[in-house]
Amino acid sequence: MTSPHQNPARARAILAFLTAWPALSGQVGAASVATSHAVREPAAARAIDAPASVALARSAGAGKVFLSTDEALALAFPKCEVKRETVYLTSAQQERARMLAGTELEGAIARPWIARRDGKLVGTAYLDTHKVRTLKETLFVVVDPAGRAVRTEVLAFAEPQEYLPRASWYEKFAGRALDDELRVKRAIRPVTGASLTVSATTDAVRRVLALHTVLGEPQPKR
């Protein structure tokens, strides 16, 4: 997996667009809506998309932005048709997702990106914005058709950079399912000096997998 937080040139280019934005939770939208999303191929020489960078800055607070959402989608889903859906969770869905994740949800609205190639499902991506210590980070998590995490990227990180684990640490989530092994000190090893980030990231991946599970379950007829 490529390391988004080891590309200072991209981060500096994005930060040129940023001012001090208040923290914002980033989970908004309209119920049961699917919209097409044009995914652009990433290129080091091309200008960073300012609106996308500002949206991430608002979500995570005015910190480091390593990848825009478009760039993350292009890296995760090359040559795919990507559509974004918006789903309002019922109270029962929220409670079940909390139970499966073992942690609180960040909101009652889910906005996954669904990627298909030649009509076949390739994967589903989610953003998760959450507090690490006193400031926020935004993660981009991709789930495969079998319900396993396959990619975890740091898009924005407002805490000091010394709290950020190495890129290789995030690879520990690849192939992980939502089970008891997906916990710190089990399949996920602690990182000295970044314990809060490790815990927050593990909770976020569990939250995404729980949400993905709940969205795939049949709902009772009203």
In the three-class reduction of DSSP (H, G, I as helix; E, B as strand; rest coil), residue 216 is classed as coil
DSSP string, 105-133: -S-SEE--EEEEETTEEEEEEEEEEEESS
What 8-state DSSP symbol labels residue 37? E
Count of CB atoms within 10 A of residue 174's CB? 14
When pLDDT is averaged across residues 12-34 and rounded to a whole number, the result is 35
What is the value of pTM for the model shown? 0.76
Span 2-20, pLDDT tens digits: 444 555 444 443 443 332 3
User: Cα 133 to chain center, whole Å?
Assistant: 18
Q: Is the pLDDT of residue 23 over 80?
A: no
The structural domains of the chain, with segments of one domain joined by +, span: 4-18+26-215
pLDDT of residue 5: 52
What is the DSSP pairing of strand 33-37 with strand 81-88? antiparallel
Mean pLDDT of 70-85: 97
